[in-house]
Amino acid sequence: MSLFNTILSAIDNPSQAASPNQLSAILGTVQQLSQSNQANPETLQTAMGIIGRYTRSSLRDKRAADGEAAVANLVDRYSGTSASREVVNLLFNTSQVQAMTTEVAERTGIPATTLQNLLPSLVPLVLQFLQTGQETGGAASRNSVLSAFLDADGDGDVDIHDAMQQAGRYLQS
């Protein structure tokens, strides 16, 4: 099942946090960031797809070291539409930030310095997508979207960029 299908299932499940308003807030923030940084929203979505891959790797490492609950707590605490340099520092070391910004810059044309300034805004948006699957029962409850994201087998089925495109189409229908 694709990441977006998992998000749609969460929207249809009243016991999970996902809502069309949540998706709209994510896409609206991407739109605002693209305007304020003179970038195409599609370009920022591509950047978020790459950032999502790095985020998945970091969250998997955190899950292996600290457990599922620690990852769920991190996603709950730092997901949103507000910038957080702290979450960037928690998830990525300096070499990971350098590799990520270099890859994003090469694939999107956004200057690396601009990307370093955007990371504190884009990483919480990636986490906001993941937070949509959180069950409303509390911190110990299950998050289907986060689980699908972390358990992806690398076959390309789980991608933040694709999920954002599909969310935009979903909200327009």
Q: 134: which strand partners?
A: 143
Q: Which pLDDT belongs to residue 78?
A: 95
**Whole-model pTM?**
0.86
Q: Give the contacts of 81 (CB within 8 A, at least 6 positions apart).
A: 25, 26, 28, 29, 124, 125, 128
**DSSP conformational letter for 13:** -
User: Exposure pattern of 93-104 as b/e (b: 16+ CB <10 Å)?
Assistant: eeeebeebbebb
Q: Which pLDDT belongs to residue 167?
A: 67
Q: Which pLDDT belongs to residue 89?
A: 96
Measured between alpha carbons, how far is 7 from 9 in angstroms, rounded to an integer?
5
Confidence bin at 134 (pLDDT 50/70/90): confident
- Is 156's pLDDT higher than 50? no
pLDDT in tens, 37-92: 888 888 998 999 999 999 999 999 999 999 988 999 999 999 998 999 999 999 99
For the chain, domain boundaries: 3-172
For the segment 24-28, the average pLDDT, to the nearest whole number, is 88
Task: Please give the backbone phi and psi of residue 171, each rounded to the nearest 5 degrees, phi first.
Answer: -70, -25
DSSP string, 48-107: HHHHHHHHHHHHHHHHHHH-HHHHHHHHHHH-SSS--HHHHHHH--HHHHHHHHHHHHHH
